[in-house]
């Protein structure tokens, strides 16, 4: 906060002379306008009056434009006012500034005294405080980076420092530090001199997305192995028991074999889901081109879940809008997605007694629909709902609200992650809305297929 205040104060201080220049320009312009009006009133030609007016205004605006480059003022900061730069120098500086301004990564040039001489701070909030003339420690607070800058200045060796910047939000940064010999303009006894001097450049590279991906991958491997290890340990345990004291116990053997079959099934489901996920991810860049009638697909899903629905005493009903159209998609993937949603609604929301599948055009104000004119396939249950804080995380791999309950019901925690990838591959979207105590609606938005040609017409 204090930093931002400093930055604002500094910027205001720098704007002071600019505003003065503007004021002078405006005064000149105003005077010229007055003079022009007097001339016109006095019957004198208006051309010279307009000429004076133009020069006045141009002087003001020209001065403003040249100096109004927040964060990038290269000459040595001086208490004696700005430096006068000759034309050639100005052109080269403007070129360097234009390049620095457009660099995609935050950049700083630091002189031997540790002061910022050049930066693209205004474009990059992480170095917003890197105003020319300020000490680098005002912009970069990490001691290791500051140390690297000082060492590079001393020994000329380039280095890279990996650190976490807490402001403006937590970012993993790799700072590249290197010494360069550059000409920096300075004022010596009233004149401008351009001496070659040792400076240090710092380029900050944002590694946050990379680190996050790395973490996700590590978590994924850890979770997948954990999920496989549990049934495997159970299988091994039962095999040992069957070879040991249960060897001749027929009743125990039957019971244990049933459990083993169940555990093996769980491992198979997990492997199937993992393979599904990687296959869908692999094909994500290729949008499916088939045509799928979602109303008919919903009926097939209802048939497939009937045993589960009966067991849980849940009615599964389908409502199809007369405006419902086919979608562009791959049937097997859409079947897998819808089955998972209905399966979840029965397993986790079945206490509401009823699950509704709706196929209809997406509402025009549906925020989650990526484009207008999409179809919406919703699965609604009237169960206990999902606490708010869990909803955004449900599509993460292995994320479950109640891991024990999910496992007991044979869940792998990969279902919604798969559905999300299927939606993405179809250039659609997945939306989860839930209210505790009222139930959950999960909607799959999919691109509508063009109307089918009437039978008998040429395609």
Ligand X SMILES: Nc1ncnc2c1ncn2[C@@H]1O[C@H](COP(=O)(O)OP(=O)(O)OP(=O)(O)O)[C@@H](O)[C@H]1O
Binding site for ligand X (CB under 6 A): 273, 340, 344-345, 348-349, 381, 383, 386, 394, 400-402, 406, 411-416, 440
Footprint on residues 227-286 left by Mg ion (CB under 5 A): none
Closest residue to Mg ion, Cβ-based?
Answer: 415
| Nearest-approach distance from CB 413 to Mg ion, in angstroms | 8
CB 379 within 8 A of CB 442: yes
Sign of the torsion formed by the C-alpha atoms of 250, 253, 259 and 260: negative
Q: Which is nearer to ligand X, 51 or 261 (CB)?
A: 261
- Using rule CB under 5 A, residue 447 touches Mg ion: no
349 binds Mg ion (CB under 5 A): no
Residue range at the interface with Mg ion (CB under 5 A); choices 96-104, 144-152, 293-301, 337-345: 337-345
Residue 199 binds which of ligand X, Mg ion, none (CB < 5-8 A, kind-dependent)? none
Cβ at position 297, least distance to ligand X in Å? 18
As a whole number of angstroms, the distance between CA 339 and CA 306 comes to 11
Q: State which residue has the least CB distance to ligand X.
A: 415
Dihedral in degrees, nearest 10, Cα atoms 343, 344, 349, 354: -30
Residue 111 binding partner per list Mg ion, ligand X, none, with a CB distance cut-off of 5 to 8 Å that depends on partner kind: none
Partner that binds at residue 345, options ligand X, Mg ion, none, CB closer than 5 to 8 Å by kind = ligand X
445 interacts with, out of Mg ion, ligand X, none, CB within 5 to 8 A per kind: none
Residues in the interface with Mg ion (CB under 5 A) total 3
Q: Which is nearer to Mg ion, 119 or 339 (CB)?
A: 339
Asked if residue 344 binds Mg ion (CB under 5 A), the reply is yes
Pair of tokens at residue 42: 């006095």
Q: Bridge-partner residues for 434, per DSSP?
A: 440
Cβ nearer to Mg ion, comparing 186 with 407: 407
123 versus 406: smaller Cβ distance to ligand X = 406
Among 415, 428, 439, 447, binds Mg ion (CB under 5 A): 415
Rank residues 60 and 231 by Cβ distance to ligand X and give the closer one. 231
In the bound state with Mg ion, the residue whose beta carbon lies nearer, of 32 and 342, is 342
- Binding site residues, Mg ion, CB under 5 A: 340, 344, 415
């Amino acid at each position: 906060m204090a930093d931002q205040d400093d930055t604002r104060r500094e910027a205001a201080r720098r704007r002071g002379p600019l505003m003065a220049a503007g004021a002078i320009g405006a005064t000149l312009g105003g005077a010229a306008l007055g003079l022009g009006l007097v001339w016109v009133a006095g019957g004198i030609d208006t051309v010279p009056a307009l000429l004076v007016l133009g020069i006045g205004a141009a002087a003001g605006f020209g001065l403003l434009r040249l100096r109004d480059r927040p964060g990038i003022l290269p000459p040595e900061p001086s208490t004696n006012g700005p430096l006068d730069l000759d034309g050639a120098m100005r052109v080269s500086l403007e070129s360097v500034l234009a390049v620095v301004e457009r660099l995609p990564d935050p950049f700083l040039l630091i002189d031997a005294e540790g002061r910022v001489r050049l930066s693209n701070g205004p474009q990059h909030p992480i170095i917003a405080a890197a105003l020319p003339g300020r000490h680098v420690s005002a912009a970069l607070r990490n001691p290791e980076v500051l140390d690297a800058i000082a060492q590079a200045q001393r020994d000329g060796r380039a280095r890279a420092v990996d650190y976490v910047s807490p402001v403006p939000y937590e970012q993993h940064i790799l700072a590249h530090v290197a010494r360069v010999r550059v000409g920096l303009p300075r004022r010596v006894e009233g004149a401008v001199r351009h001496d070659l001097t040792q400076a240090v450049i710092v380029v900050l590279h944002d590694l946050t997305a990379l680190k996050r991906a790395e973490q996700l991958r590590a978590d994924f491997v850890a979770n997948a192995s954990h999920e496989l290890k549990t049934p495997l340990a159970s299988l091994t345990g039962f095999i040992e028991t069957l070879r040991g004291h249960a060897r001749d116990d027929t009743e125990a053997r039957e019971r244990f074999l049933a459990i083993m079959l169940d555990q093996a099934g769980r491992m198979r489901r997990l492997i199937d889901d993992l393979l599904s996920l990687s296959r869908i991810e692999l094909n994500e860049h290729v949008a499916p081109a088939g045509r799928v009638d979602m109303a008919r697909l919903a009926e097939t899903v209802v048939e497939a879940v009937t045993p589960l629905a009966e067991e849980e005493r849940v009615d599964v009903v389908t409502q199809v809008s007369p405006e419902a159209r086919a979608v562009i998609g791959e049937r097997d993937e859409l079947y897998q997605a819808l089955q998972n949603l209905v399966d979840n609604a029965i397993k986790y929301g079945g206490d509401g007694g009823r699950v509704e599948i709706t196929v209809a055009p997406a509402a025009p104000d549906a925020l989650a629909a990526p484009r207008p004119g999409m179809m919406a396939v919703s699965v609604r249950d009237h169960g206990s709902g999902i606490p708010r804080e869990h909803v955004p995380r449900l599509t993460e791999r292995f994320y479950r609200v109640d891991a024990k309950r999910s496992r007991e019901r044979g869940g792998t925690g990969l279902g919604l992650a798969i559905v999300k990838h299927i939606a993405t591959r179809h250039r659609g979207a997945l939306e989860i809305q839930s209210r505790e105590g009222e139930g959950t609606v999960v909607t799959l938005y999919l691109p509508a297929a063009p109307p089918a040609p009437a039978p008998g017409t040429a395609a």
